[in-house]
Amino acid sequence: MHNISISEFDYSLPDEKIAKYPLESRDESKLLVFQKNKISTDKFLNIDKYLPENSLLIFNDTKVIHARLVFQKPTGADIEIFCIEPLVPPEYSLTFQQKGNCSWKCIVGNLKKWKDGKINIEFTKNDRRLKLEAVKIESDGELQNIAFNWEPSEFSFEDILELFGKTPIPPYLHRQSEEIDRTRYQTIYSAQKGSVAAPTAGLHFTPSVFEKLDNKKIIYNGITLHVGAGTFKPVIENNATLHKMHNEHFYFNKEILIQIHKHDSNITAVGTTSLRALESIYWIGVKMLEKIDNPMKIDQWVAYQLPEKYSVKQAMESLLNYCEKNHIDTFESDTSLMIVPGFKFKSVQRLITNFHQPRSTLLLLVAAFSGKKNWKRIYDYALKKDYRFLSYGDSSLLIP
């Protein structure tokens, strides 16, 4: 655990293997099934065949926002502002309802061309002229704090993003976002606005798939983890444990805790974000049992430092007791949890996930879940069988 060489989690990914666009039908994507140490191929629409009856499936119901705003200076230079996280007001729900002004932590493209002053863009909607203005407040590490003001002020920031913003498709697609991305870079169950990247394992689900899950009495529910741009950040240090993991906000409710408690050892996570949130919830419960301060914050390495003696049921009971004692039904937390080989999974037994970039934290997670020696077998198989890779690519079900 002290020295994990990222070079061991590298592989050759030709550009032609990267899916640049989604398939016409979401559930027609290939499904690689890794089970009992064997690998096979099916279609995603048949995923119900591999999930146990009466099991629990948890997905991430976050919704991708149109987070890319392109301004043009009088000189003609384009300045792209990528909204990452709300600053004022800091809550996602409040900032989208905000009228007239708000501020965000942002990544700014072509920053050198924006020395100071205001930049703006204008838009006509139903014969009404809308104007959006951006001002730099200060630098915050790699991010810039940006204040937005707009007129007419009766419009919410949610309206502004809908009108002015572009879908933040991944940079490795090497293309501009198009109209198709507005619907297809979004799960059909997306509900809670806040992500700047899609929880892509969920892109394959359709009403037909959910109908099959219902017929098999599989319970499904959503937690909300807002995916940040850090999900695309490559591990550049050779020793992966020196990588600074990005922090992501997530939300869960009392009902989820009851379901996890009931379905202990029979849970499928849809995507790495759902898995990360579920494992983080377990460690929140452990921190409560251990009476550790600030239990709602899960640091990068806390899961490797706390005692492992508690069951999932015990951890959930501690959270449920907290609900009763404090008369609350919902939680807001954040996690920097980094899952690498050596991590002991507590809550999740099955993982649905796409195929991830070389030398990425997501690939480290897959290796931790499937087994350090198995991930390479799985990815070699997918490459040889012409699977489509990354966000718009095919899917896998890992049952180690």
CA 158 to chain centre: 20
∠ CA 245-226-43, nearest 5°, is: 95
Domain limit, last residue, from 165, 197, 228? 165
Q: Are residues 206 and 348 in the same domain?
A: yes
- Sign for the pseudo-dihedral over CA of 80, 83, 89, 95: positive
Q: Are residues 295 and 366 in the same domain?
A: yes
Amino acid at 269: A
- Residue 33 half-sphere exposure toward CB, CA atoms < 13 A: 14
Residue 1 has pLDDT above 70, yes or no: no
With respect to residue 180, please indicate whether it lies within any of the assigned structural domains: no
Residue reference for tokens 């849809």: 270
Amino acid at 226: H
Q: Are residues 11 and 143 in the same domain?
A: no
Instruction: For 147-193, write each residue's pLDDT tens digit.
Output: 999 999 999 999 999 989 999 999 899 999 999 999 999 999 999 99
The residues, any chain, with a CB within 8 Å of residue 230's CB and separated by 6 or more, are: 245, 246, 247, 248
Q: Are residues 146 and 240 in the same domain?
A: no
Please state, as a whole number, how many other Cβ atoms lie within 10 Å of the Cβ of residue 391: 25
**Percent residues over pLDDT 70 in the chain:** 100
Q: Are residues 392 and 243 in the same domain?
A: yes
With respect to residue 265, please indicate whether it lies within any of the assigned structural domains: yes
pLDDT at 229: 81
With respect to residue 126, please indicate whether it lies within any of the assigned structural domains: yes
Query: Which domain does 120 fall in, by range?
Result: 67-165
Q: Are residues 161 and 194 in the same domain?
A: no
Q: Average pLDDT for residues 229-251, to the nearest whole number?
A: 89
Domain count, the chain: 2
Domain limit, last residue, from 100, 130, 165? 165
With respect to residue 10, please indicate whether it lies within any of the assigned structural domains: yes
Instruction: For 212-231, write each residue's pLDDT tens digit.
Output: 999 999 999 999 999 988 88
Q: Are residues 48 and 152 in the same domain?
A: no
pLDDT at 127: 79
With respect to residue 1, please indicate whether it lies within any of the assigned structural domains: no
Q: Are residues 350 and 367 in the same domain?
A: yes
Residue 2 has pLDDT above 80, yes or no: no
Rounded to whole angstroms, the Cα distance separating 88 from 93 reads 12
Q: Are residues 192 and 159 in the same domain?
A: no
Task: For 204-221, give the DSSP string.
Answer: G--HHHHHHHHHTT-EEE
The per-type count for the chain, helices as H runs and strands as E runs, is 9, 18
The CATH number assigned to the domain holding 205 equals 3.40.1780.10
∠ CA 139-117-168, nearest 5°, is: 60
Q: Average pLDDT for residues 77-101, to the nearest whole number?
A: 93
Q: Are residues 395 and 265 in the same domain?
A: yes
As a whole number of Å, the end-to-end CA separation of the chain is 20
pTM of the model: 0.94
With respect to residue 177, please indicate whether it lies within any of the assigned structural domains: no
With respect to residue 273, please indicate whether it lies within any of the assigned structural domains: yes
With respect to residue 19, please indicate whether it lies within any of the assigned structural domains: yes
At 95, list the tokens.
Answer: 């900032």
